[in-house]
Amino acid sequence: MSHVSGLKAFHGADSRIEAPTRVRVARLALLAALGIGVVLRVLELVAGRSLSQDEAQLALNIIDRPFSHLFGRLDFNQAAPEGFLALQKLVVDTVGPGDYSLRLVPFVAGTLALFLLVPLGRRVVSPPAVPLAVVLFAISGPSIFYTATDKQYAVDLLATVLVLLAGMHLDERRLDRWAALIFASVGAACVWLSHSSVFVLAGVSTALVIGSLLRREWGSALRVVAASAAWLVSFGLFALTALETVASIQQSLSNTAGAFAGSGSTDLTDKGALRTSVGALRYVAGVPHFLRRGALDVGELVVLFAAALCVVGAVSILAKRRERGLALLSPIIFMLIAWGLGKYPLLGRTQLFLVPIYALLLAEGAVHLVTTARLSAMRVGSVLAAAAVGVAIVVPAIGQVVRTPTFNEMKPVLDRIAREQRPGDTVYIYYTAQPQLRYYLECGCAGRAFEAARKDGLWPLRRARGGPGQFAPAMRSVPPRFIVGQYRGSEPSLYASDVEMLRGRRRVWILLPEVENSTRESLLHELDARGTRVATFGVGDVRDFASAVVAYLYDMS
């Protein structure tokens, strides 16, 4: 054998050895990504966060309403897909109310979405991008948070992955009736489980029809249209029976900056209308603020580079299979159209369903940029820039699950009051505390000290009828032990009469959660003018009082 032929044989054998090694490395990376994602979600779940005001308001609807009254206008300005509400009610009726039971469905949905992203990625992006996409999804801070939250947004994630996966399966087997039936069934069901799934369904159906028409496969196009008819009919039923309820919730968000087209300012801060673009992408990616300089910071640049990588990824996927690239991009387009028409609010959580799409586009863009860079310096720069995006996403995600929860933490404050209160004490409940307190009085899951005090009659519960308003009354006063402040408006002076009712009592606990700083300062000024502050206990940053829960002990005698 000549030297040249021997060298070729050596390199051929070497490449055959390297191929299985690369497969093993990719498989291990994928398993590691899935493991990290599961661990982060379990840690977030077992952290035992208190239900926020928004979660508690939805929980009261689920716990206290029978099935027959669960699918109309809900109390406390709440709305959720009927299918999600039914699943939550089924779990609560089976295992009882509690923080974990209310978060079981979102946890299962968010974790299942993580695993199903693997077969979806293998159908859409290049092989090296699959584990990277799973990693990006696994460490997405908002995805982790809402996977352990009593809200429907983790189900939105699952619906996006399911619809895309069923669409890719239908694209692979255009003449398979079972593939069409699967897409039809998934679409018809997802409409009732996720409001945002309509955008994904419309995008996938449009992409598959366009792809079939461009290939002049008329039978395939008709099959996609027939399969899409199922979710269109399902959406039609939803529009006739439940769309009015969702519209009323949208109306309440009309003053939120960037929520609808034309609302809010147009500056480059997170409070402006551009939050609906770069700011929203920043939220769903979980990129924090750092090295701030005025209205901008380095995190803004990281998000802009991430958006550029998404564009590169979209171009790469479109070049390989245009209908699959269009299936990923079309949901974003349909969502923006609905936003422009004032039919869908663009907030961070309402765009969470796009996280799987962003993960796939970002991973494909990073891999494409690194593998196609011609100069070694460009390749190194691409790797470093992509790594910077990854670090900016992973650091806050890990910090979120390892630190002690402080956002709207009602349970430790209730436990502290319960351990220190005396039989003659009075508890004043500000109106923002009503949903959480009523929930914990009903579920009996706020801790041993609180439960013991409740059984001893120190926390009497008198339910209110509620109502469609966000601050509709959830509880009534049981004087002299329990004084519940009712919502009278946003002006702090309107609550001076509540403070006046407390005069003459020696020990009064004031419970103030989720109160703006100006309101808190006004209320404390009234209290300090009529009594003496004895003690203060709170969880969270009292400088950002809207996210903290604080209790004050006053001597009002």
Contacts of 358 (CB under 8 A, 6+ apart): 136, 281, 284, 285, 310
Q: Does the structure show a pLDDT above 90 at 339?
A: no
Q: Which of 106-115, 140-149, 465-474 has the highest mean pLDDT?
A: 106-115
- CA distances (Å), origin 503, targets 479, 498, 537, 550, 553: 13, 10, 21, 21, 13
Q: Looking at residue 29, what is its pLDDT?
A: 85
Query: What band does 382 get if pLDDT is binned at 50, 70 and 90?
Result: low
Query: What band does 254 get if pLDDT is binned at 50, 70 and 90?
Result: low
Average pLDDT over the chain reads 83
- Separation CA 256–CA 271 (nearest Å): 9
Q: Looking at residue 251, what is its pLDDT?
A: 61
Q: Looking at residue 219, what is its pLDDT?
A: 85
Q: Looking at residue 275, what is its pLDDT?
A: 44
Q: Looking at residue 510, what is its pLDDT?
A: 92
Structure tokens at 282: 């920043």
H helix or E strand, kind and range, residue 512: strand 508-513
Q: Looking at residue 7, what is its pLDDT?
A: 45
Q: Looking at residue 272, what is its pLDDT?
A: 42
Q: Looking at residue 385, what is its pLDDT?
A: 65
Of 107, 149, 152, 156, the closest CA to residue 408 belongs to: 149
Name which residue leads in pLDDT, 116 or 212: 116
* Span of 76-80, 319-323, 376-380, 524-528 with lowest mean pLDDT: 376-380
Q: Which of 84-98, 269-283, 380-394, 460-474 has the highest mean pLDDT?
A: 84-98
Q: Does the structure show a pLDDT above 50 at 207?
A: yes
Of 480, 478, 548, the closest CA to residue 511 belongs to: 548
pLDDT digits over 212-236, tens only? 898 888 888 898 899 999 999 998 8
pTM: 0.88
Name which residue leads in pLDDT, 513 or 207: 207
Mean pLDDT of 173-187: 88
Q: Looking at residue 274, what is its pLDDT?
A: 42
pLDDT digits over 269-279, tens only? 344 444 445 56
Structure tokens at 148: 């352990």
Query: What band does 522 get if pLDDT is binned at 50, 70 and 90?
Result: confident
Q: How many residues appear in the chain?
A: 557
Query: What band does 289 get if pLDDT is binned at 50, 70 and 90?
Result: low
Query: What band does 343 get if pLDDT is binned at 50, 70 and 90?
Result: confident
Q: Does the structure show a pLDDT above 90 at 489?
A: no
* Span of 8-22, 226-240, 294-308 with lowest mean pLDDT: 8-22
Query: What band does 341 get if pLDDT is binned at 50, 70 and 90?
Result: confident
Q: Looking at residue 460, what is its pLDDT?
A: 87
- The DSSP code sequence of 306-337 is HHHHHHHHHHHHHHH-HHHHHHHHHHHHHHHH
Q: Does the structure show a pLDDT above 50 at 10?
A: no
Q: Which of 64-68, 117-121, 134-138, 416-420 has the highest mean pLDDT?
A: 117-121
Q: Looking at residue 71, what is its pLDDT?
A: 84
Q: Does the structure show a pLDDT above 70 at 546?
A: no
